Amino acid sequence: MSHMIPPFTVTGVLPLGVHPATLVEITARFGQSSELRRVQMESVRWMIDLATRAGVQRIVLNGSFVTDILEPNDVDCVLLIGSGFPSDATATKELDVGLPFLEMKLVGLVDFKEYIDDIFGTDRFGVRKGMIEVIQ
């Protein structure tokens, strides 16, 4: 199944909403246009693998990585965890240590929604913007 990541707005961000996309689609759209983006994409790929093994339920990507900037600063991520977390101690330990370029937030449901709706969901001018949800 193909999911269309929408075009950027005039300000270079995604339109409002959480846009589902597969790893292949994310790579094609955000992970190839510069060497820095290719390296950041490697971190994203590694994080998704670790998060899946650790029992993370949902992964949303934000930050300059999901904008039209050629060389983003970082990839902000919010990861939904639940009562079964962590399901793999080794993967969780690696997530705890962190990954290059990734700013990860592992949170419960209430705060997952808060990050999406407010903390990550608006830019510094208070304008709402879009994000990417990683799907299988």
Partner 1 sequence: MSIMNEVELANTRAKLLRLEKRFAELSLDTTEDRRVREYTLRSLKGTINQFKEEIARYQVRLVVRA
Q: How far is the CB of 54 from partner 1 (least distance, A)?
A: 11
Give the number of other Cβ atoms within 10 Å of residue 23's Cβ.
Answer: 16
Q: What part of residues 8-67 is at the interface with partner 1 (CB under 8 A)?
A: 64
Contact (CB, 8 A) for 133 and 59: yes
Helix, strand, or coil (residue 77): strand
Q: Is the peptide bond before 86 cis (omega within 30 degrees of 0)?
A: yes
The smaller minimum CB distance to partner 1, of residues 42 and 111, is found at 111
**Interatomic CA distance for residues 107 and 56, integer angstroms:** 10
Q: How far is the CB of 108 from partner 1 (least distance, A)?
A: 4
Q: Is 118 in the site for partner 1 (CB under 8 A)?
A: yes
Spell out, one character per residue from 77 to 116, where the chain touches partner 1: x when CB under 8 A holds, - when not: ----xxx-xx----------------xxxxxx--x--x--
**Interatomic CA distance for residues 62 and 67, integer angstroms:** 9
Residues in touch with partner 1 (CB under 8 A): 64, 73, 81-83, 85-86, 103-108, 111, 114, 118-119, 122, 124-126
